[in-house]
Structure 1
Amino acid sequence: MTDNPIEQLHEAVQRYAVEVNGEDSGFVSSFVIGYEQTSFTDEEGMDARVTAVDYATGPGTTLATAIGLHAITGRYLDDAIGGGE
């Protein structure tokens, strides 16, 4: 029996965290991921390229944690583009 896709993603995020932070950094208890998908169509009257954005959360991620991760990620992105003081 295999894990469902969100469980597989959770395992992949954990492996990434271990690679970045080391074995002793604990385990990933929550995550929020945003992703963009692009598809192409030749349907008349439609743009050739259609892009959609979606989000997923880890199996144990609460709404409060997701909001906190969103807030801190937004601050990091602002800093990265020079908007943070």
Structure 2
Amino acid sequence: MEISTVQLTNPGVYEFTDERGKRLRHYNEAVRRAQFLDEDQKKKWQMLGYLLDTGQLAEAERVIISEDLARLKTRQKLNAIKPKFEQRK
């Protein structure tokens, strides 16, 4: 078993401030709106949110939104191509 050299001042305890509550709500909304996650994955991502600190919540929210937007742009490009392809047949 490996022992971590990093220690928390209060192991396993996060302070639930108004800022963290706000970030957690924003994170959960981003997870809920994510089109690329199925329902089971959304539950797992929401549970993960309770383990993240305030900075990690903000970063995770940005990652989820960026991934969702990237996939949306790809879908839109594919949908724009699809009618032209069908006309050629």
TM-score (normalised: structure 1)? 0.32
Determine which structure has more spread, i.e. the larger CA radius of gyration: 2
Higher relative contact order by CA 8 Å / sep ≥ 6: 1 or 2? 2
TM-score (normalised: structure 2)? 0.31
